[in-house]
Every structure is written in structure tokens, then in C-alpha cells.
Amino acid sequence: MTESYRCCLPERVNTDNDDVVLALRLLGGHDGSTERDESGASKLDVRDGEWDADDRDRKKQRPEQVTDREPDAGEDDPDDVSHGVEAAALPRDVDHDPSERPQGIPCELEGLDAERDRDDEHEHDDSRDRIAQRHDQAAEDEPKDVAKRSHGSELTCGAQRLIAGPRTSLRCVHRPSEGFYMTVSRSRSMATEAIHAGEIHDSSGAHIAPIYQSSTYTFDGMEGVEAWADGTNDAYIYARGGNPARTALASKLAALEAYGLEDRADGVAAEIFGSGMAAISAALMGLATAGDHIIAQKVLYGSADHLIAEVLPEYGITNTRIAGLDPELLEQQLNANPSTTVVYLETPANPTMTLIDIAATAEIAHAHGARMVVDNTFATPVLQRPLEHGADVVVHSTTKYINGHGTVIGGAVVSNDAVLMEERIASLIRFIGGVPSPFDCWLTNLGLKTLPLRMREHSANAMLVARFLEGHPGVVSTMYPGLASHPQHDLATRQMDGYGAMIAFDLGSYESAAQFLERIELCTLAVSLGNIDTLVEHPASMTHRVVDPDEREASGITDGLIRISVGLESAEDIIADLDRALS
């Protein structure tokens, strides 16, 4: 959504950041604007400012408040951390629809950083003079037919570098007949995307899309068949190839995994499978064929471990396992195995809760021509989005947090490479048959709508439970990324937007673990995770039983290890149940 406002310049700029001072001057429509100009327009107030995606290493800098005026009664304290631009009171340019304006003549002002006076002695008129000079130079550098555009052409200035929040961007434009204008572009929050992205509404007017429980779809005649065959009509023909509920769910999940990618988000695509293992199988089979090599961490979900270690080698796909995908060892193995096409990882890992640096691993993999696949089931796109850290493919068991209610089995593959998805991965669903039912897709879509809300509460409960376990004398060790004692706590803080709801803790022996599991009452002894209720399991006996015992022990999956998926019950009640079972 883009809106346009006439620019105003604050009378005072209370910041030590020279870039912000300059950017605000570039946004200024006239010199010496007071708190409200003659039309009554409010001055610009930027809060929690950030830089754009092209300057991500400075993203975390937070400029001070633009104005140091005291808040009026009932108004938010300017020191309160809130995102966005307080620009709603500025007069809107209702006469100019941004989508209808002529394309602007670019005006690069990157050199202004070097030109400006570090003591901040520039006058506003001087800044405007430099802008005009740059505009003139840009026009001279453009082809003549571009430079002679109509009187309403926009001149885009360097102020577009200023971002006023993670979902709000400012852009200054100049219209020769009207002066300087600011456009404000806002993207929707993740909570909003989770509810509205990909939604379909049929002709019945139903608010919630119906369940298209049909195996096949009809055509009115051969004209429709021919249009489908030549690709001009995306009609559904057979449910194995697609159905409306599956398309809606795929669109929603793609939107969440693409969140924050900005102009790259449109290239993200997803496909929904009948299980998480069907999704993992399709991703690996789409990237590796006979003669290729896969490198993965040692600790993996049991069935994924078995697929890579036992099943794929029968089809000529070999593998190497590296503890934690140590960067130095990864470089060595990539050099030793030039046929490597995939680096596969889980982070956090199931069940040990160890982490892997996605960005660093992706950089190494890509330098050797390999693609990187990340299982994001534990974190979900609410807490971690591997694509923005350099991953090529993301896989999910949608059975878990994505659905969240324990009512379906499902999986998903997401990638920012549309060609890869279309030709190598998503297409496999038609041939290996890992197809979800329309009803399962419909249920999963409903669950996904509340994912941001659920993950917030799951994570809050998990932190309380983890602290309790860490302090209990009967617990040998507790692994939770949110604890400062976790060896990769700093990585979790940098790479994730929250620490999730999965905890691993060790009771020292199988006997202690079994005794504990016999005593729980509120919590449920069961495999799987991500339900609204708390699930507890013994990995060595359950999810990772198929892993070789010696390899299991070496990977940290001891006989005393317990994995807990913290639910949405009262944290106090969960802790009371655990305390009773541990006593």
C-alpha cells in the first residue's frame, strides 16, 4: 500500500545521526517548517528508524527521536519503541495515484555522504541546491526522450534510503510544478499475512472458503481443455495435481516464509505435500540424483536421518555427516566431494536443540555450487525465515506448529527459485504421489491463521518451563536456545525472532527418564510436537529409535534425554506437573 504526502520539515532535529539529518532535509518541502505549517499539517515524526535492505549491516541502528517536544495528553510517549511513520496528519496527494504516475528520472545522491559537513552546518537551502544540481545532472545523463518527459515526471531523490520502520519506507519525489512530496509504502504485518494471504472466496460469498472435496474437475468444452493444455488457463483438472485449498495454503505459507524479503518476495513459491517426509523426499530428490552427494549434520529427525543414511544410497546418492556442520569440516568435505549438490540441515535440531548458523553455512555451500535445504519445522516462519539468511529451500512438517492442533499429517517445500520448484521439486508431487487431501489443506490453513499468536504464547511458556528445568536438582542438563547457558544462545538471538517452544533435558539415565514419563499427568506422552497441548517424548525409544544406538549416543541423544513440546496451557500448571513427576 502506497500513500503520498506533501513534505514538511521539523523545525528541530534531535539526533546525532548525520544521515538522518540529511535525509530529513531532503524530505523537506520548505525551509523552517514549524510544528504545524499554514495548512495545519503535522511535522514528520520518525520512530525506531531503520535503513533499507541494501544496507542491512546498519539495520539495527535506531536513530533518536526526530523531535524533542513533550507528548500531548493521551499521546504516546516519543521514547516508546514503536514502528512506522507518524505521517497520517500530513495532507494527502489525492490527485496522484502512484500506480498512474510516469516513471521517474533516477537521481543518485550516494555522494552526498562524502559532501556533507560532519559538523552539521549545512543550511536547508544548500541541500535543496545540491538536489536541484543532481536532478539536472541526472536529466542530462538520461536519453533525450526520457529527459523531455511530461511536466508531471517524478525525480526520485536519495531520501528513499531512509526507512522509518521494518514495514514502512519513505521516498521523496519531486514534481516540477508542485515541489517535493513524500511517499509512504507500508507492508502488512506477519499476523495480518497469516490471516489474509492466499485466501480465496468463491461465488457463493462464503466468508471461509469451502472444502473442495473432489477428485476431478470438469470443463465446459474443448476450448477450456485446450486453454488448460497450452497454459493460458490455470484450471484444476485432477486433485493430485492441485486443488483450491492446496493452492491457498501454499500461497499463505510462501508469504510467511518470504516475509521481510521485500522486492524478492514475489519469487517465493511453495507446494504442499501429504507429510513432512514426502516434502523432504521431494526436496532431496529434486536436488540430487544418482552420483550426487549430500552433506548433512549428524543430528536429524529420525526418519530424515534414515532417508539420507539408508534409503537414498540405494539410488546412488551418497552422504557425509558432520557434527553441527562445523564450517571448517564442511569446507573440507565439499572439497573432497565435488559432486555435492545439497547441504541439508535442521536448526534448531531435533531433538538436541543445537543450532546451525544458516547464513554462514549457505555462504560456504554456495561457494562450492551446492544448494542448501533447511528444515524449519521447530522455528516456523514466525521465528525464523531461512530464505532471508541465504537458504535455497525450506521444508516443513505442517503436521506440527503450522497446523498446530494435531488434526492432520502434512508437509511443505518453499523456495525462492521458481524454476527449481516448477521443474524439479513441486512437480514430483504428481509422480511420487505425496498428495494431501483438500480437507487436510483446509484444516491446516485454519491453523496457520493463528500461528503468530500461538508461537508468541508457546515461546513465553517455554521460557518459564526451561528456567524451571534448569534450576531443578533432578535435571542433569537443559537445552533451550533462550537460556543464556545454551552454548549457541547468541546465535539464536541473532538468527531467530524468538526461541520457540521445544526443550530437551537430560535426566541422566533411562530409568530416571522412564520413571518421569510414568508420573506425568497433565502433559501427554506422545511423539509429534507443536500441538496446543504439551507433548513429552523419549527420543531414544520413540522418534529416533531407528538411528544406530552408538551414533545416537555420540550425537547427544542419550537414554536419559527427554524432549518436550511446550503447549498453551498455563505455564504454572505445566511446571506443577513436571515438578510432581520429577519429585
Q: Catalytic residue at 77?
A: no
pLDDT at 116: 36
The pLDDT value recorded for residue 278 is: 97
Cβ-proximal residues to 261 (8 Å cutoff; 6+ apart), any chain: 268, 385, 387, 388, 416
- Distance in angstroms (rounded) separating the CA atoms of residues 325 and 374: 12
Say yes or no: 153 and 268 in one domain: no
From 547, 446, 462, select the one nearest 211 (Cα to Cα).
446
On whether the CB atoms of residues 392 and 373 are closer than 8 A, the answer is yes
Look at residue 426 and give its three-state secondary structure. helix
State whether 360 and 471 are in the same domain: no
Residues 473 and 444 in one domain: no
One domain, residues 200 and 309: yes
Global pTM reads 0.71
| pLDDT beyond 60 at 495 | yes
On whether both 418 and 284 belong to a single domain, the answer is yes
Catalytic residue among 212, 259, 301, 344: 301
d(CA 321, CA 333): 9
Residues 200 and 171 reside in one and the same domain: no
pLDDT digits (tens, 9 = 90+) for 512-527: 999 999 999 999 999 9
Q: Residue 137 has which C-alpha cell?
A: 545532472
Give the mean pLDDT of 554-561.
92
> Same structural domain for residues 215 and 252?
yes
Q: Are residues 346 and 256 in the same domain?
A: yes
Identify whether the C-beta of residue 343 lies closer than 8 Å to the C-beta of residue 373. Answer: yes
Name the band, by pLDDT with cuts 50, 70 and 90, for residue 186. low
Chain-wide mean pLDDT for the chain?
Answer: 77
pLDDT at 551: 85
The CATH number for 494's domain is 3.90.1150.10
State yes or no: is 301 an active-site residue. Answer: yes
Domain boundary (165, 186, 207) is at 186
> Of 391, 414, 449, which marks where a domain is finished?
449
When pLDDT is cut at 50, 70 and 90, the band that residue 95 belongs to is very low
Res 293 pLDDT > 90: yes
Secondary structure of residue 376 in the 3-state scheme: coil
Report the distance separating Cα 379 and Cα 391, nearest Å.
15
Q: Are residues 217 and 174 in the same domain?
A: no
The predicted-structure confidence for 312-348, as pLDDT tens digits, reads as follows 999 999 999 999 999 999 999 999 999 999 999 999 9
Q: SS3 for 119?
A: coil
pLDDT band at 69 (very low <50, low <70, confident <90, very high): very low
Number of neighbouring beta carbons within 10 Å of residue 496? 22
Domain that holds residue 539: 452-582
Same domain assignment for residues 31 and 162: yes
Per-residue model confidence as pLDDT tens digits over 19-40: 444 444 444 433 333 333 444 4
One domain, residues 317 and 434: yes
Buried b (16+ CB within 10 A) or exposed e, 270-301: bbbbbbbbbbbbbbbbbbbeeebbbbbbbbbb
Least confident range from 27-31, 70-74, 577-581: namely 27-31
Domains identified in the chain, total number: 3
CATH number of the domain bearing residue 243 = 3.40.640.10
Residue 110 has pLDDT above 70, yes or no: no
Active site residue 375: yes
pLDDT of residue 167: 53
**Which of the residues 167, 246, 321, 400 is marked catalytic?**
400
Show which of 429, 449, 469 is a domain's final residue: 449
Taking CA 144 as the corner, what is the angle to CA 141 and CA 145, rounded to the nearest 5 degrees?
130
From 19, 93, 305, 375, active-site residue: 375
pLDDT tens, residue by residue, 212-267: 999 999 999 999 999 999 988 888 999 999 999 999 999 999 999 999 887 778 89
315 and 379 together in one domain: yes
In 3D space, the residue among 319, 344, 312, 345 whose CA is nearest the CA of residue 333 turns out to be 319
